[in-house]
Amino acid sequence: MSFISKWAGLLGLLAVLVIGDQIRINRPGHKYRLTVEVTTPDGIRTASGILAVVPDRNYNRGGRTTMRGEAVFVDLGQDGGKDRGKGKNLVVLLAHRQGDKLDLDDINYVALRAYGAARGNRVSFNDISRQTGIVPVQGDLIPVLVSFGDPADPASARLVASDHADAVLGDGYAIRGLTAEVVPNGVWPIDFGSVLGEPVTRGIDAKLPWLAAPGDPAAAALKAAGLPAAGAIEAREAFARK
């Protein structure tokens, strides 16, 4: 074997090891489907999104568990009242409210805690990917809910109470329930669907077009809903994570 061939082989092996390690670090620990059902005067409307939870597998131990995915947008159809023709909606943010702060990390543990509550015992992070069935997301596990009077206008955001949605959405509207369901990780990073695994849901930019606009539109939306936000980057994470 020539000197060049020997080094080419070693470099190839090194590349495989580096790529493999990056896959190990960035592969989701588990994925779950977050579904919301809303009762409307015209029947039940539902929407869901696949969220991926990635634990900290770095060597420096300085990182944190992260999320990939987007807020769940529920199209509630047309308003049959005085504003007939203007569509209603509900958005399940990737955030929880903790007093006067917005918590962007609790969304990582929604499935973990929901399965634990449903099973009546603690579910470990290592075991969550092996859970089966659909479990309710209730109480403090329910993320922040908002609605936009005009999805094209972040300043039209209003906070929606999970137990009193009609105060914002109108008579006949109510949150029927939220659920979590662990789904297969698949062959990440080529989890394009089917046997390769459920891909993370994308497309919120098309429903809330201002998210891609310059400035701090996400922060403006949170402020309009009466929610705290520390900055533009954190505010956007309430709607989408890469």
> Average of pLDDT values for 1-10?
66
For residue 104 the two structure tokens come to 């962007």
Cβ density class 146-183: b for 16+ within 10 Å, e for less: bbbbebebbeebebbebeebeebbbeebbbebbbbbbb
Q: What mean pLDDT value characterizes the chain?
A: 85
Residue 3 is predicted with a pLDDT of 63
Q: DSSP secondary structure string, 82-141?
A: TTTTSEEEEEE-S-EEETTEEESSGGGGHHHHHHHHHHTS---TTTGGG--SEEEE-GGG
Residue 231 is predicted with a pLDDT of 67
Q: Where are the beta strands (DSSP E) in the chain?
A: 30-40, 43-54, 66-70, 72-78, 87-92, 96-98, 101-103, 134-137, 145-148, 157-160, 174-183, 240-241
Residue 58 is predicted with a pLDDT of 62
Residue 7 is predicted with a pLDDT of 66
Q: What number of other Cβ atoms are within 10 A of residue 88's Cβ?
A: 23
Q: Is the model more confident about 13 or about 41?
A: 41
CA distances from 208 to 146, 204, 205 (A): 12, 6, 5
Confidence of residue 4 (pLDDT cuts 50, 70, 90): confident
Res. 21: pLDDT tops 50: no
Residue 99 is predicted with a pLDDT of 86
Residue 210 to residue 218: CA distance in whole angstroms:
8
Q: Is the model more confident about 66 or about 6?
A: 66
The pTM is what?
Answer: 0.85
Beta bridge partner(s), residue 178 = 36, 137
Residue 201 in contact with residue 50, Cβ under 8 Å? yes
